[in-house]
Amino acid sequence: MSETTIISTSNLNLWYHEKLALQSVSIKIPKNKVIALIGPSGCGKSTLLRCFNRLNDLIDHVKISGEIIIDNKNIHAAGTDVVTLRKKIGMVFQKPNPFPKSIWENVAYGPKVHGVNDKSELNRIVEQSLRHAAIWDEVKDRLNDSALGLSGGQQQRLCIARTLAVEPEVILMDEPCSALDPIATAKIENLIDMLKQDYTVIIVTHNMQQAARVSDYTGFMYLGKLIECGKTVQIFEHPNEELTENYITGRFG
C-alpha cells in the first residue's frame, strides 16, 4: 500500500474469561480512509474496535497479547496515557449516547475536560463541530435544550460532533446506524464520506451494502480471525477466500 499506516496490529489475541475472542489479528489501517469491518455477529469486530482506544480496559477478565501500534507507539507499553490515546482515537457507539446535558454542553464537554475554558473559544468549537457533523442547522436555535429531546439520528450526529470537538485523528464507529431509520442512516453515511478528508474512519457494520457504499477498504472477520482485508471493490468482487465469498453472497451469516 502506498498510504501511510496509522494503526497496525500484529498477532493480536484477546481472551474474555477463557474464551479466545480475537485470534492472531494482524491488520494495517491506512490514514484518511474509511475502513469497514464486516462479519457475522460475535465474530469480534466490535471487540477489535474497542482495542484501538483501550475501552476493553473497562471490562473485567480481559487479557490481551500481541501488539497494537498507533502512530509508531505500542498502546499497551508501560507509561501509555490512555487519556491521550482516547483523545486521539474518538469513538461513536452503536446506540446514540448523549449525556443528559444540553446540546451545547454535550459538545463542549470534550474540549472542557481537555482544559479549554474560554467561552468564546468553546462556542467556536461547538459550532464548528456541529457544522462538521451536519447537524448545526437543525439545532442552532436550541443549543441549550436537553440533548435527550433530539431524534435518534440527530442524537447520533450530535455524538459524532462531540467526538469531532476533541480533534481526534481516528474515529471508531461501532455499528453507528443500527439504531437508526434509513433516512438518518443516509445522512450519517454522507457524513462519513465527508469526514475521510480529515480523519481515518473505522466502521463496524453488519450491513454489507453499507460497507460497500462507504468504505475504501474492507476487512472480513469470522470467529475472532481476520479472514482477509483489502480494497472494498476487490473484497466484494473478487474475494481471495472462499469464506469471504460465501459470506458476501449471503450463503451464511
Partner 1 sequence: MGKIFQYKPGARSAFDGIARLSLLREQSIKTVFFFTAFFAVIVVAFILLFLARDGYPVLTQVGILHFLLGPDWAPTAVVPLYGIFPLIVGTLLVTIGAMVFAVPLSIGCAIYIAELASPRMKNVLKPAIELLAGIPSVVYGFFGLIVLTNFIRVVFNLPTGETWLAASVLLGIMALPTIISVSEDAISSVPQEYKEGSLAIGATRWQTISRVLVPAALSGIAAASILGIGRAVGETMAVMMVAGNAAIIPDPIWNILSPLRTLTGTLGIEMGEVSAGSEHYNALFGVAVVLLIITLIINISAVAILRYLKEGRTGGHSRKPLISSSTRGVLVRSARVLGLALLLVFLLVAAPWWLAAPILLAGGMWYFGRSYLSENQVQTIAFWLIMGATLAVLVILVILLQDIVINGLPALSWEFLTRSPLDSGRAGGIYPAIIGTLYLVLGAIAIALPLGVGAAIYLVEYTRESRVTRLIRTGVDLLNGTPSIVFGLFGFAFIVLYLNVGVSMLAGQVTLALMVLPTVIRTTEESLKNIPQSLREGSLALGATKWQTISSVVLPPAVPGIVTGAILSIGRAAGETAPIMFTAVVFSARFLPDSVFQPVMALPYHLFILATNVPGSSANKYGTALVLLLLVVGFYSVAIFVRTHFQNKIRG
- The binder of partner 1 chosen from 163, 200, 218, 232 (CB under 8 A): 163
Q: Closest separation between CB of residue 181 and partner 1, Å?
A: 16
Cβ 86 to partner 1 shortest distance, Å: 4
Q: What share of the chain is helix, strand, coil (3-state, %, to 5)?
A: 40, 25, 35
Report in angstroms the alpha-carbon separations of 33 from 4, 68, 194, 216.
Answer: 10, 19, 11, 6
For residues 61 and 243, is the Cβ–Cβ distance under 8 A?
no
Pick from 30, 39, 44, 90 the residue near partner 1 by CB under 8 A: 90
Half-sphere exposure of 131 (CA within 13 A, CB side): 6
Does position 76 bind partner 1 by CB under 8 A?
Answer: no
Does 95 bind partner 1 (CB under 8 A)? Our answer is yes
Tell me which stretch binds partner 1 (CB under 8 A): 64-72, 89-97, 130-138, 230-238. Answer: 89-97
Residue 248 CA from chain centroid, whole number: 22
Task: Tell me the one-letter amino acid at 40.
Answer: P
194 binds partner 1 (CB under 8 A): no
Q: In terms of DSSP H, where are the helices of the chain? A: 45-52, 82-88, 103-113, 119-132, 136-139, 152-164, 182-195, 208-214, 232-237, 242-248
Rounded to the nearest 10 degrees, the angle between the axes of helix 152-164 and helix 182-195 is: 20
The DSSP code for 100 is: S
Stretch 2-31: interaction string toward partner 1, x if CB under 8 A? ------------------------------
Q: How far is the CB of 25 from partner 1 (least distance, A)?
A: 21
Q: Does 210 bind partner 1 (CB under 8 A)?
A: no
User: Is residue 159 near partner 1 by the rule CB under 8 A?
Assistant: yes
Looking at residue 111, its amino acid is P
Q: Fill in the per-residue mask, 34 to 73: x = in contact with partner 1 (CB under 8 A), - = not in contact.
A: -------------------x-x--x-x-------------
- Indicate which single residue of 32, 146, 178, 207 sits in contact with partner 1 (rule: CB under 8 A): 146
Find the part of the chain contacting partner 1 (CB under 8 A) among 11-19, 35-43, 139-147, 216-224: 139-147
Tell me how far, at minimum, the Cβ of 186 lies from partner 1, in Å.
23
Quote the DSSP letter at residue 141: G
Using CB under 8 A, list all residues that contact partner 1.
53, 55, 58, 60, 83-88, 90-91, 93, 95, 97-102, 105, 109-110, 112-115, 144-146, 148-149, 159, 162-163, 166
